[in-house]
Structure 1
Amino acid sequence: MTELSLPLELLISALLVIGGLFVLIGAVGMVRFGDFYMRLHAPTKATTLGVGGVLLASMGLSWAGGHFGVHELLIALFLFLTAPVSANLMAKAALHLRVPTRAKLPDDIPLD
């Protein structure tokens, strides 16, 4: 392993900490939110950003070692493209199946 400069080490460490915090926030959201629709936001928003931060740190480490980090770039691209699409499809399926929610609805939305 090559010796890294201090600014690069700090950048990679900051990306890992920020990514870890977002993953932790996503995990806490999965536990705390009350129903399916609310829990759908935690993995698609916070956890996606957390994994993105970890992948950016891995790309930085690969770049410092003389490699481009294509694998990490492809993983990030796949994650950022598939997470919103899968969340949208799950929400549409839940609406179609009439999965109950505990969220307050506005008065002008009919329940039928």
Structure 2
Amino acid sequence: MQTVIDILSWIFIIGGSFFSIVGAVGLIRFPDFWSRLHAVSVTDSAGVILLLAGMALQAGLTLVTVKLFIILAFLFVTGPTSTHAVANAALVSGLKPKSSVARDDDGDTDANDDKAGPS
């Protein structure tokens, strides 16, 4: 049974590491602030959850596991909250998201108005 727990915990740890690396690559590769913020916030939350779950499985039912779940709950709340605060601060300071979608006066969106050609 211990072998199954070890394998499962290492799958979680490797998966969490993968998400963290993908987030770092997204931070480097994406062109603007908004797409970078989105990539990092999503992968950060998923990576931390998987890493801490893998570590909790490795620790067994101990006080360390309780501490890991407290850390998980704290990061689960503060991660999205801090991302929202950073995005709000950027928007208030005047950094507007680039929109590739044209908006009519009615509020309807047409993604490819100029590319569609005559209809």
How high is the TM-score relative to the length of structure 2?
0.78
Q: Which has the larger radius of gyration?
A: 2
In structure 2, do the counterparts of structure 1 residues 103 and 28 end up closer, same or farther at CA, with 3 Å as the change threshold?
Answer: farther
- Calculate the aligned-residue CA RMSD, in Å: 2.0
Deviation, structure 1 residue 39: 0.9
Structure 1 runs (4+) deviating above 3 angstroms are: 100-103
Match of 2:113 in 1: none
Q: 1:6 aligns with which of 3, 7, 12?
A: 3
- Say whether 1:32 aligns with 2:17: no
Match of 1:17 in 2: 14
- Say whether 1:106 aligns with 2:99: no
How high is the TM-score relative to the length of structure 1?
0.82
CA distance in 2, matches of 1:33, 1:103: 15
Deviation, structure 1 residue 103: 4.2
For residues 37-59 of structure 1, give each alpha carbon's deviation from its aligned partner in whole angstroms, at most 9, with x where no partner exists: 11111221112211111100111
Deviation, structure 1 residue 12: 0.9
Q: Which structure is richer in relative contact order (CA contacts within 8 A, separation 6 or more)?
A: 1
Structure 2 residues not aligned, in runs of 5+: 106-119
